[in-house]
A = this chain, B = another copy of it.
Amino acid sequence: MTPERSKANHPRLRSLLEQRGLRVTVRRLAVLQALGASRRPLSHGELADELVTTGMDRATVYRNLMVLAEAKLLLRTRMPDGIFRFELLRQGGRAHKLHPYLVCTECGQVRCLPRQAVSVKPGLGDVLEVQLRGRCLACLQG
């Protein structure tokens, strides 16, 4: 790995860290980049599987996820399968709370659904997040 290049290559992610008063490290940039490149929330396990190939330790992935989530750069959500998933929060993170997730009981993947897929009657509370558990289309058809 070439730490210097990794750092130089992500000015945007770097500034995110600096704004929160967090140290800019190769590992943190890698975590942010991986989550930013994913279209769906990732678990620590999924992310670690990906990042250990670069020599990063699973515990380091874990601790960085904690730090970044605490700094509100990531959203940490326990999905209905009991596993925490993390996603990058763009600008205050409003956009990502609005679409429902489906956690597939067969393949385990988290699918983001279009916002209008689920409608919640008003007056029940301030609903921030909608999670479904079931079988996704791919698994039903397979």
Contact = CB atoms under 8 A, between A and B. Distances in A.
A128 B119 CA distance: 16
A3 interface: no
Nearest to A81: B78
Contacts of A118: 118-121, 130
B119 A127 contact: no
Number of this chain's copies in the assembly equals 2
Interface residues of A, number: 34
Nearest to A127: B134
Interface string A110-137: 0101001111110111111111111111
Interface of A: 77-78, 80-83, 102, 104-105, 111, 113, 116-121, 123-137, 139-140
